[in-house]
């Protein structure tokens, strides 16, 4: 009797499962698969409610999730893309080979600003048994005021160039240099705007890299920058630099000087220009406010060691000690350590290159201002150069004659068509190059001989 009962139970279980394996169950399975697919992006939908269209059929089933951004044009552009995919899929399913296939489409939406969004649409095609046939991604960026796409306006050559350099560093650090990017890399075209930066998907969308806006702020078009409310880089107002126009970097060493640094800054400010100051750490205490003012103006402050040390005469331990002492003093006064270091006397050897963790900067035009102490002589040396494009001019912020020369040179350089930039900007824009550790940027580099 016991066995009979057991058999009866077993029989009813079998009957129940037979009835579930019919059409109703497959439909439910599809609905569950769709729900599961829609969870991947469910946390990343910055805007409004989405709208889904789920259709089950023995010929082919699809589950689509549509963006509802609040702007009809935007929603229409995304919907057209999704519906085109759906129509092609439905047609495909008419063949025996594709019968019963499944299509899933969902989207993620990032909000970069009130009127700017980035959207990723992900599509997956599967067999009726759920085996993956194909995954496809499509990205969009929209201006919600007009509803229009903004990808071309976003991905200028300038920005793609800078993004590719950022991604190469990422690839070197995180992926063992596995992927190399250039401005034509297809990955850049899938860039989308988000709250904190530009998101690029690499490795067929396996890795998501967020490029912070601060790292590409100067390369983003002025209009988009305004929409994104980006006005400064590292606390300094963004100046527009035209990489196609000539540029030159003025540099002032051995300060700061309580007497002269502010005078030089006054001149630069009058002409909306910047320079780079290589300062001796023991001097920082004489003009800390001038240094902070310089940084706010967008000038660059580099290190010139603590005691104007000849680094080439030190061993690695001695260099390390000098630099860590110097950086501590810069951090105390400016809140951060300098990224650039100009070795005093331009004295640089392999030990210096291998030991310093700062970019080593020399010069290409020596005004000998410390020797002549004569404004006219300084000016003549600069003017006697055939072209100053890409040059780094060496002066010292310690002499009245240098201030007088600067007062004449800045407007003259501008009238000659030069943009006055910092050393880092010159290397980045003028030479279209990333600063590299272990390299001495000196005469040969800045005169293009290298
Ligand atoms: Ni010096």
pLDDT of residue 12: 41
Q: Is the pTM of this model over 0.75?
A: no
Centre of ligand 1 to C-alpha 257, Å, is 13
Model confidence pLDDT, tens digit, residues 16-55: 333 344 557 889 999 999 999 999 999 899 887 889 999 9
Model confidence pLDDT, tens digit, residues 428-443: 889 988 899 999 999 9
pLDDT of residue 240: 80
Centre of ligand 1 to C-alpha 431, Å, is 25
Instruction: Just list the catalytic residues.
Output: 253, 396
Angle between helices 288-297 and 316-334 (to 10 degrees): 80
pLDDT block averages, 10 residues each, the chain of length 450: 43 40 76 94 87 94 96 97 97 93 96 95 94 96 96 86 90 91 91 96 92 90 90 79 92 97 94 95 96 92 96 97 97 94 97 96 97 98 96 97 98 96 93 91 82
Rounded distance, CA 61 to CA 129, Å? Answer: 12
Centre of ligand 1 to C-alpha 310, Å, is 10
Centre of ligand 1 to C-alpha 326, Å, is 14
Structure tokens at 311: 């680094």
Centre of ligand 1 to C-alpha 245, Å, is 30
Question: Which phi and psi angles does 306 have, rounded to 5°?
Answer: -85, -40
Centre of ligand 1 to C-alpha 301, Å, is 14
pLDDT of residue 15: 39
Residue 144: Cβ within 10 Å count: 18
Residue 288: CB partners within 8 Å, gap ≥ 6? 256, 333
Residue 342: CB partners within 8 Å, gap ≥ 6? 251, 253, 278, 302, 303, 304, 360, 361, 362, 363
Residue 132: CB partners within 8 Å, gap ≥ 6? 124, 125, 126
Model confidence pLDDT, tens digit, residues 326-368: 999 999 999 999 999 999 999 999 999 999 999 999 999 999 9
SS (H, E, C) the chain: CHHHHHHHHHHHHHHHHHHHCCHHHHHHHHHHHHHHHHHCCCCCECCCCCEEEEECCCCEEEEEEECCCCCHHHHHHHHHHHHHHHHHHHHHCCCHHHCCEEEEEEEEEEEEECCEEEEEEEEEEECCCCCEEEEEEEEEEEECCCCCECHHHHCCHHHHHHHHHHHHHHHHHHCCCCCCCCCCCHHHHHCEECCCEEEEEECCCCEEEEEEHHHHHHHCCHHHHHHCCCCEECCEECCCCCCCCCEEEEEEECCCCCCCHHHHHHHHHHCCCCCEEEECHHHHHHCHHHHHHHHHHCCEEEECCCCCCCHHHCCHHHHHHHHHHHHHHHHHHHCCCCCEECCHHHCCCHHHHHHCCCEEECCCEECCHHHHCCHHHHHHHHHCCCCCCCCEEEEECCCHHHHHHHHHHHHHHHHCCCEECCHHHHHHHHCCCCCCCCCEECHHHHCCCC
Residue 50 contacts residue 66 (beta carbons within 8 Å): yes
Centre of ligand 1 to C-alpha 26, Å, is 79
Centre of ligand 1 to C-alpha 225, Å, is 38
Centre of ligand 1 to C-alpha 311, Å, is 12
pLDDT of residue 23: 59
Centre of ligand 1 to C-alpha 254, Å, is 5
**Residue whose tokens read 């004449």:** 408
Residue 441 contacts residue 359 (beta carbons within 8 Å): yes
Sheet holding 116-126, edge to edge: 51-55, 60-66, 101-113, 116-126, 132-143
pLDDT of residue 156: 87
Centre of ligand 1 to C-alpha 280, Å, is 8
């Amino acid at each position: 009797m016991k066995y009979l009962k057991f058999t009866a139970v077993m029989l009813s279980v079998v009957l129940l499962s037979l009835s579930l394996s019919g059409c109703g169950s497959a439909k439910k399975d599809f609905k569950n698969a769709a729900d599961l697919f829609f969870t991947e992006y469910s946390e990343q939908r910055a805007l409004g409610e989405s709208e889904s269209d789920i259709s089950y059929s023995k010929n082919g089933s699809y589950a689509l999730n549509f963006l509802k951004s609040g702007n009809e044009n935007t929603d229409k552009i995304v919907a057209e893309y999704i519906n085109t995919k759906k129509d092609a899929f439905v047609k495909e399913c008419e063949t025996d080979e594709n019968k019963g296939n499944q299509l899933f489409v969902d989207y993620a939406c990032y909000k970069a600003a009130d009127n700017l969004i980035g959207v990723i649409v992900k599509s997956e095609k599967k067999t009726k048994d759920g085996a993956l046939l194909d995954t496809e991604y499509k990205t969009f960026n929209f201006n919600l005021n007009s509803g229009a796409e903004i990808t071309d306006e976003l991905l200028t050559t300038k920005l793609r160039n800078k993004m590719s350099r950022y991604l190469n560093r990422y690839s070197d650090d995180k992926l063992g240099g596995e992927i190399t990017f250039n401005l034509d890399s297809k990955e850049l075209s899938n860039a989308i705007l988000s709250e904190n930066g530009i998101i690029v998907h690499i490795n067929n969308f396996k890795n998501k890299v967020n490029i912070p806006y601060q790292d590409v702020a100067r390369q983003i078009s002025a209009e988009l920058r305004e929409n994104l409310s980006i006005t400064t880089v590292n606390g300094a107002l963004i100046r527009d630099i035209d990489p196609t126009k000539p540029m030159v970097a003025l540099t002032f060493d051995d300060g700061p000087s309580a007497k002269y640094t502010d005078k030089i800054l006054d001149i630069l400010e009058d002409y909306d220009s910047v320079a780079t100051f290589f300062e001796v750490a023991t001097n920082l205490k004489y003009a800390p406010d001038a240094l902070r003012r310089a940084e706010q103006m967008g000038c660059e402050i580099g290190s010139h060691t603590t005691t104007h040390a000849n680094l080439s005469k030190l061993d690695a331990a001695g260099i390390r000690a000098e630099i860590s002492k110097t950086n501590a003093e810069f951090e105390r006064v400016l809140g951060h350590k300098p990224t650039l270091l100009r070795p005093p006397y331009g004295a640089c050897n392999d030990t210096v290159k291998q030991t310093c963790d700062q970019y080593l900067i020399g010069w290409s035009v020596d005004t000998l201002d410390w020797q002549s102490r004569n404004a006219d002589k300084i000016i003549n040396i600069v003017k006697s150069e055939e072209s100053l494009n890409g040059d780094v001019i060496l002066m010292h912020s310690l002499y009245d004659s240098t201030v007088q020369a600067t007062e004449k040179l800045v407007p003259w350089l501008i009238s000659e068509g030069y943009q006055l930039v910092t050393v880092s900007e010159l290397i980045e824009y003028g030479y279209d190059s990333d600063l590299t550790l272990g390299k001495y940027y000196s005469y040969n580099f800045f005169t293009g001989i290298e």
